[in-house]
């Protein structure tokens, strides 16, 4: 089953990184305040990056890597992201 690793921009400019099997549903959860504790405190604004991977295990591994990047590198990934992201809100 395909899974996704994603980054969401929060109202304070921070980036939240997570994984899911349904991008649209997960963004809606974050925006409704029912997602991660972090995005409840720093309102989720928009999804700015995602990658599709082949399994939950791969998503967890990639999430770990992305969460340990410095903010500047995460911002670079977001800037370079030209992929499939359409307005999903």
| Residue at 65 is within a domain | yes
| Residue at 54 is within a domain | yes
What does the alpha-carbon distance between residue 82 and residue 32 come to, in Å, rounded to a whole number? Answer: 27
Q: Which domain holds residue 67?
A: 3-80
What is the reported pLDDT for 67?
Answer: 97
| Residue at 87 is within a domain | no
**H helices present in the chain, as ranges:** 23-32, 37-41, 56-67, 71-80
pTM of the model: 0.87
Phi, psi of 65 (to 5 degrees): -60, -50
Nearest alpha-carbon partner for 27 in 9, 11, 13: 9
| Residue at 64 is within a domain | yes
The enclosing domain of 49 has a CATH number of 3.40.1440.10
| Residue at 86 is within a domain | no
Tokens of 86: 């359409």
| Residue at 85 is within a domain | no
Over residues 43-87, the pLDDT tens digits come to 988 999 999 999 999 999 999 999 999 999 999 999 888 554 554
């Amino acid at each position: 089953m395909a899974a996704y690793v994603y980054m969401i921009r929060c109202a304070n400019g921070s980036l939240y990184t997570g994984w899911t099997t349904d991008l649209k549903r997960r963004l809606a959860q974050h925006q409704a305040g029912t997602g991660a504790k972090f995005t409840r405190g720093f309102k989720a604004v928009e999804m700015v990056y995602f990658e599709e991977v082949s399994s939950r295990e791969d998503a967890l591994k990639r999430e770990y890597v992305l969460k340990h990047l410095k903010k500047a590198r995460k911002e670079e990934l977001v800037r370079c992201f030209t992929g499939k992201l359409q307005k999903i809100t």
